[in-house]
Amino acid sequence: MTDTPLTHTTVLLNEAVDALLDGAAGADGRYVDCTFGRGGHSRLILSRLSEQGRLQAFDKDLEAIAEAGRIDDARFAIRHEGFSNLGELPAGSVDGVLMDLGISSPQIDSPERGFSFRFDGPLDMRMDTTRGESVAEWLSTATVDQITEVIRDYGEERFAFQIAKALVARRQERGPISTTAELAQLVADTVKTREPGQNPATRTFQAFRIFINAELEELEQALKASLGVLAEGGRLVVISFHSLEDRIVKQFIAKHSKEVVDRRVPFAQPVAMRLNALGRVKPSEEEVRGNPRSRSAIMRIAERTGVPA
């Protein structure tokens, strides 16, 4: 464990909470923070809720659950599970859903979590360390084709095949890699060119983290569930940090922000729009200067219409 406290600066803190609470219910509403993290958004939401307001949070990370335990507020509750379980809440019971899809700084900066190539530690990367297999465990049996697909699809890495081939060759020669330093060095030895200022291992680490936590699948499930749990006038606020996530969010909002006509059935009623797209927000130059990790963030906002899910 690290000796110094690890802190986290919440991205788009005020902008996200403003967008969430500007819906129909306001301070009296019932809200969901899908990714509690270190509680930045949740604490600000609670500070702005009335006595009637309620906040439900989700998180898979045990450290986040421990942090949530420090909040002594009868209006707040947290569930130790992923936000793909959002659909378990009653239909129409929520006035706002917030999804902050970034991983927290303490997760990145904790060597024992294995998220970063900047520190040497076990190659884990699981958000929930109580279940599932680590990246190291998966790499110990995965084929070249499987590894290539993950690095290519989730990391958008053009050298995916070469990295996958090197990983399997290393496993066959000396056993599977088990630390972040080993992975970073293998990628650096394999990838000979890279964008200025970017570590060669950036895309590979991103790909393995997204894959091992099924992040994109969970996002798709939660977005779909939000249509069912949001009440009329409720807000959907999603903060993405890379193009794969933002593309899913953008396409989801666009799909449900227009009427859909089935041209195969010319006299059928069109499927009415279920969301009103309210735009997108990016961090200010001042925020990016103070927190460089915020530079890639994009927040998209939509409002639930009165059409049933």
| CATH classification (class only), 13-105+215-304 | alpha beta
Pairing status of strand 94-100 against strand 54-59 = unpaired
Tokens of 222: 């939660």
Please state the length of the chain. Answer: 309
Residue 58 CA to residue 214 CA, distance in Å, equals: 16
Provide CB contacts within 8 A for 104, sequence distance 6+: 8, 37, 38, 61, 64
- Locate the domains of the chain by residue range: 13-105+215-304, 128-212
| Separation CA 220–CA 86 (nearest Å) | 11
pLDDT in 10s for each residue of the chain, 309 residues: 334 344 568 999 999 999 999 998 999 999 999 999 989 999 999 999 999 999 999 999 999 999 999 999 999 999 999 999 999 999 999 999 999 998 776 677 677 787 788 889 999 999 998 889 999 999 999 999 999 999 999 999 999 999 999 999 999 999 999 999 999 999 999 997 777 778 899 999 999 999 999 999 999 999 999 999 999 999 999 999 999 999 999 999 999 998 655 556 665 555 577 999 999 999 999 999 999 889 999 999 999 998 655
Rounded to 5 degrees, what angle do the CA atoms 78, 83, 220 make?
Answer: 165
Max Cα distance, the chain (Å): 68
- Those residues with Cβ within 8 angstroms of residue 36's Cβ, 6 or more apart along the chain or in another chain: 42, 57, 58, 59, 64, 65, 67, 68, 78
- The CB-side HSE value for 263 (13 A sphere, CA atoms) comes to 0
Q: CA torsion angle for 232, 309, 48, 84 (degrees, to 10)? A: 180
Q: Helix or strand or coil: residue 174? A: helix
Cα torsion angle, 43, 302, 9, 179, sign: positive
Decide if 8 contacts 38 (C-beta within 8 A). Answer: yes
Question: CA–CA distance from 36 to each of 44, 165, 217 (Å)?
Answer: 12, 38, 19
Q: Tell me if 103 sits within 8 A of 38, measured CB to CB.
A: no
In the structure encoding, which two tokens stand for residue 246, read together?
């933002």
Cα 92 from Cα 232, distance rounded (Å) = 8
Q: Check residue 306 and give its pLDDT.
A: 80
Q: Distance between CA atoms of 192 and 178, rounded to whole angstroms?
A: 23
* H or E element, residue 95: strand 94-100
Distance between CA 309 and CA 268 in Å, rounded? Answer: 18
Residue with tokens 């606020």: 237
Spatial contact of 112 and 93, defined as CB atoms under 8 Å apart: no
Q: Which CATH superfamily hosts domain 128-212?
A: Putative methyltransferase TM0872, insert domain (1.10.150.170)
**pLDDT the model gives residue 3:** 40
Our CA dihedral for 246, 36, 43, 233, rounded to 10 degrees, sits at 50
What pLDDT, on a 0 to 100 scale, did the predictor assign at position 1?
A: 36
Q: Taking the complete model, does pTM exceed 0.85, yes or no?
A: yes
